[in-house]
């Protein structure tokens, strides 16, 4: 039986090589340790928040509390869906998607990270394709957006490989200070030719109200 109160806990996006879903408590602790062990390996500091301090001096506790606050704060009018990435059942990182007023705008942004040992194996591309499938196929998005700090070649590489177009550059504040970021945009018509038929969306229908999609049906 599905979760009686919070169906989004059961949501799974499955590709032939990885799975996206909410982590349980033990998995979240494992992900905190993975993040602590290192996820920013080369190039400029990639995140907007200062992940090294979060809201407590204790990194893993801060990480754990942050993810619980994200789950608790998920609202239909402004959602931030942080799904853990599992490779052969092992927690490998996070793939997020977030949106405001999604039923009207049909635009969602994405963000992600992988533990250092999981990077540069094509997984970043695969998990982005998985979340794009959820957004376009499952939730009826019209546009997916993303952003990369200039010099973050992994993030830039994933967006370029998946056909995103550059959508302006902005100077913003990262965790270590101000820098330029590239905004990326992928519209439905650009995604359609790349639509995959080997990505499964499991237990999506009961979650639709949590994305603000009352009365909608998954597009697939």
Ligand X SMILES: CC(C)(COP(=O)(O)OP(=O)(O)OC[C@H]1O[C@@H](n2cnc3c(N)ncnc32)[C@H](O)[C@@H]1OP(=O)(O)O)[C@@H](O)C(=O)NCCC(=O)NCCS
Q: Using CB under 6 A, list all residues that contact ligand X.
A: 39-40, 42, 46, 111-114, 119-125, 148, 152-155, 157-158, 161
By C-alpha distance, which of 185, 21, 191, 190 is closest to 110? 185
Query: How far, in Å, are 83, 127, 174 from residue 115 at the CA level?
Result: 14, 13, 20
Of 4 and 193, nearer to ligand X (C-beta) is 193
**Residue 47: CB minimum distance to ligand X, A:** 6
Question: For 136-194, where are the E strands, in sequence order?
Answer: 143-149, 165-174, 177-187
Closest separation in Å from C-beta 120 to ligand X: 4
Q: Which is nearer to ligand X, 121 or 165 (CB)?
A: 121
**Whose Cβ is closer to ligand X: residue 14's or residue 40's?**
40
Q: Give the neighbor-by-neighbor strand order of the sheet with 165-174.
A: 165-174, 177-187, 143-149, 107-114, 90-100, 78-87, 19-21, 12-14, 200-202
Q: How far is the CB of 124 from ligand X (least distance, A)?
A: 2
95 vs 212, beta carbon nearer ligand X: 95
Output the smallest distance, CB 114 to ligand X, in A: 4
């Amino acid at each position: 039986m599905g979760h009686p109160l919070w169906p989004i806990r059961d949501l799974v996006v499955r590709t032939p090589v990885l799975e996206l879903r909410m982590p349980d408590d033990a998995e979240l602790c494992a992900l905190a340790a993975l993040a602590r062990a290192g996820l920013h390996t080369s190039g400029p500091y990639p995140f907007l928040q200062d992940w090294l301090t979060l809201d407590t001096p204790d990194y893993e506790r801060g990480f754990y509390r942050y993810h619980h606050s994200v789950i608790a704060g998920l609202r239909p009018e402004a959602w931030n869906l942080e799904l853990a990435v599992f490779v052969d059942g092992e927690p490998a990182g996070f793939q997020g998607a977030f949106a405001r007023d999604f039923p009207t705008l049909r635009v969602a942004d994405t963000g992600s990270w992988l533990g250092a040992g999981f990077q540069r194996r094509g997984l970043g591309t695969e998990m982005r394709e998985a979340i794009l499938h959820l957004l376009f196929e499952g939730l009826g998005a019209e546009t997916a957006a993303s952003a990369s700090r200039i010099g973050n070649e992994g993030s830039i590489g994933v967006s370029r490989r998946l056909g995103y177009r550059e959508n302006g550059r902005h100077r913003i504040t990262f965790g270590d200070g101000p820098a330029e970021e590239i905004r990326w945009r992928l519209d439905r018509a650009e995604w359609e030719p790349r639509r995959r038929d080997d990505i499964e969306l499991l237990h999506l229908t009961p979650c639709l109200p949590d994305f603000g999609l009352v009365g909608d049906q998954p597009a697939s």
